[in-house]
Amino acid sequence: MTLDPLKKDSIMQRPPKWWKNSVVYQIYPRSFCDSNGDGIGDLPGVIGKLDYVKELGCDAIWICPFYATSNYDNGYDITDYERINPEFGTMQDAERLIEEAHKRGIRLIIDMVLNHTSCEHPWFLESQKGPTLPDGRPNPYRDFYIWREGGPNGEAPNNWEAIFGGSAWSKPETAPEDSSSFYLHIFSPQQPDLNWENPALRQELYRMMRWWLAKGVDGFRMDAVCYISKDPAFPDSKDGNIRPYASFGPHFETFAREMNREVFSRFENVMTVAEMSESTPERAEIYANEDGSIFSMIFQFQHLDLDGGDSFKWTHRKIDLLELKRLMGFWQTALYGRAWNSLYWCNHDQARIFSRFGEAEGPFREKSAKMIALCSHLMQGTPYVYQGEELGMTNYPFRSISEVRDIESLNAWKKFCGPGPSEVKYTEAEMLDLISLRGRDNARTPMQWDATPNAGFSAGTPWINVNPNYTQINAAEQLTRDDSVFRFYQKLIALRKKYEIITAGRYAVLDEENPDVYAYERFTEDENLLVAANFRNHPTRVTLPADYIAKNQSRSAGILLTNDPQRRTFQLSETFTLNPYEAFVVFFGVR
């Protein structure tokens, strides 16, 4: 099948910036749906569930990498950008996915991993052969990666620590004994960093991205893109922290603008979302500017770093609600009219949010999940729903390290429980508790479709265990019920389509110092939304300022959505009480 990018199908005729009132559904294909019983989710599995995504009301899918891979990091280590991982299917399956998604009015955003490839990518296999070929010519692939000489005693070129642990420099396994050349890898040694300073490499990547857009995909999620430019001096870093020197390097903006010019701007209405740790509103204003000169929006991490995050994730720290409110408000206000936010609690790298705050079991499980959803979906930005989030899926109780698959958790286990040097040491039991709380595999246990064996994910043995709570939490059951978490997400998504104020209104926090409740307003000249969410399992009081009451009291009021069957009416008054985990949104205006 060939798709001519210039011949517009109905999707291509969408209005510019279609993502502003869209909701994106994120799929981790390995864990979504297995169509052939080999225990691994695949593309035909995804195609079979497009109607489910449609039913939820999402307009776009972001699918995690589905390319040929060596699978050290489940697809984030690519061996060929233009082939499909055979475990997932074929190129025909990918083309059918694009076509079937488009038939349903769903756009497809694919994951672009451009900071690094797999160490088994042919470019790297060539690169590691050395600067010159046996016939004396220079090796054209040498400079596709970042090579530096080590110190006189065989030490690495600098003290940078890889994000997945250990030194960020390695020698290839095939290197001769006396070789002193190291390659840089910000993540694992199996993920060597590409050298973006090399124009030939950049052109190769741009060509490949255009090739995908020509196939009909609607945009890209730009994996770890802030790392593509590094400090060229490669200086030692304080405590070995790689981020200050390896992210937002001096040429990042140049590369990003060039990528826009060479790729995104050549097609219509391409959506891009850039994964950027270390983001600030100033950076967002450059990289996700409303003028569309670079990316459409960014993923920042600060709200999810509040319980550890980039600095040190392996702790029991809890997210503090006051800090969370300050941070969310900061981003909502700073980006208004300047850059575009993304809104998310969950993705394939994050433990399940309902286990981080909210209640993962007990009578308030569903109510707290709905509260957390409502709280973020009514802010400004593009919401992302990560597979299973719409069911209130929870963390997995890891009881043995043999259940863990994730490279990051396995490396942390070696470091903190193993014999090697480390400032922090944990017992195995402590570390398993931490992995159950913070590990990325919590997001990667199979999607819970129904109450049949393996949650209906696979007829074979799943590559990673299914959460034992699938008999209780699954899609089939939730689709039978009007008051399920799924139905609540469906209503939230529908509200965004109906009320322009959710996309365009301004944001202001209410009752800011309240430690238990997140209340905020969205406002325009003539309309107002009041959002209130009780983060506690006990009743709480909320106080509204006098000017808030004054401006809304003559307007007609109506509850648009609530997670509390007892909340039938809302009377605007200076204070009111919320039930445990109650959340609602009230609309004030002319209806």
Please give the residue ranges that form the binding site for ligand GLC (CB under 6 A): 73, 76, 113, 187, 223-224, 275, 348-349
Residue 42 in contact with Ca ion, rule: CB under 5 A:
yes
Of 164 and 499, which has the nearer Cβ to ligand GLC? 164
The only residue of 40, 46, 98, 369 in contact with Ca ion, by rule CB under 5 A: 40
Instruction: Say which residues have a Cβ less than 8 Å from residue 43's Cβ, sequence separation at least 6.
Output: 29, 66, 84, 88, 89, 93, 94, 96, 97
Please count the CA atoms within 13 angstroms of the CA of 436 that sit on its side-chain side: 16
Cα–Cα distance between 53 and 65 in angstroms, integer?
19
CA distance linking residue 262 with residue 275, whole number of Å: 20
DSSP letter string over 404-470?
Answer: ---HHHHHHHHHHHSSS--S----HHHHHHHHHHH-GGGGTSPP---SSGGGGS-SS--SSPPPGGG
Pairwise CA distance, residues 362 & 355, whole Å: 12
Separation of alpha carbons 581 and 370, rounded Å: 9
Q: Is 36 in the site for Ca ion (CB under 5 A)?
A: yes
36/179 with CB nearer Ca ion: 36
* 93 catalytically annotated: no
**Residue 113 contact, options Ca ion, ligand GLC, none, Cβ 5-8 Å cut-off depending on partner type:** ligand GLC
Find where tokens 């980039």 sit.
Answer: 310
The answer for residues whose C-beta is within 8 angstroms of residue 79's C-beta and 6 or more apart is 67, 68, 69, 70, 117, 118, 120, 121, 122
Take residue 455 and report the two structure tokens written for it: 């949650």
Q: Which does 34 bind (CB under 5 to 8 A by kind): ligand GLC, Ca ion, none?
A: Ca ion
- Chosen residue from 5, 18, 38, 426 binding Ca ion by CB under 5 A: 38
Of 38 and 310, the one with the shorter C-beta distance to Ca ion is 38
Q: Return the number of the residue (110 or 224) whose C-beta is nearest ligand GLC.
A: 224
Catalytic residue among 87, 223, 441, 582: 223
223 binds, among ligand GLC, Ca ion, none (CB under 5 to 8 A by kind): ligand GLC
33 binds Ca ion (CB under 5 A): no
Terminal Cα-to-Cα distance of the chain (whole angstroms): 48
User: Least separation, in Å, of the C-beta of 72 and Ca ion?
Assistant: 20
Q: Considering beta carbons, is residue 206 or 227 the nearer one to ligand GLC?
A: 227
Q: Which does 120 bind (CB under 5 to 8 A by kind): Ca ion, ligand GLC, none?
A: none
C-beta of 115: minimal distance to ligand GLC in Å?
7
Give yes or no: 223 in active site.
Answer: yes
Tell me the closest approach of the beta carbon of residue 189 to ligand GLC, in angstroms: 13
Q: What DSSP assignment string belongs to 522-539?
A: EE-SS-EEEEEEE-SSS-
Catalytic residue among 87, 218, 275, 307: 275
Residue nearest to Ca ion (CB): 42
Report in angstroms how near the CB of residue 45 gets to Ca ion at its nearest. Answer: 6
Binding Ca ion by CB under 5 A: which of 26, 28, 31, 34?
A: 34
In the bound complex, what is the minimum distance in angstroms from residue 409's beta carbon to ligand GLC?
11
Residue 49 CB, shortest distance to ligand GLC, in Å, is 21
Report strand pairing: 24-27 vs 382-386.
Answer: parallel
CB of 349 to ligand GLC, least distance (A): 5
Q: Which does residue 36 touch among ligand GLC, Ca ion, none (CB within 5 to 8 A, set by kind)?
A: Ca ion
- Count of residues that bind Ca ion according to CB under 5 A: 5
Nearest alpha-carbon partner for 581 in 375, 368, 392: 368
276: exposed, middle or buried (Cβ count in 10 Å: 0-12, 13-18, 19+): buried
Q: Which residues bind Ca ion (CB under 5 A)?
A: 34, 36, 38, 40, 42
Give the active site residues: 223, 275
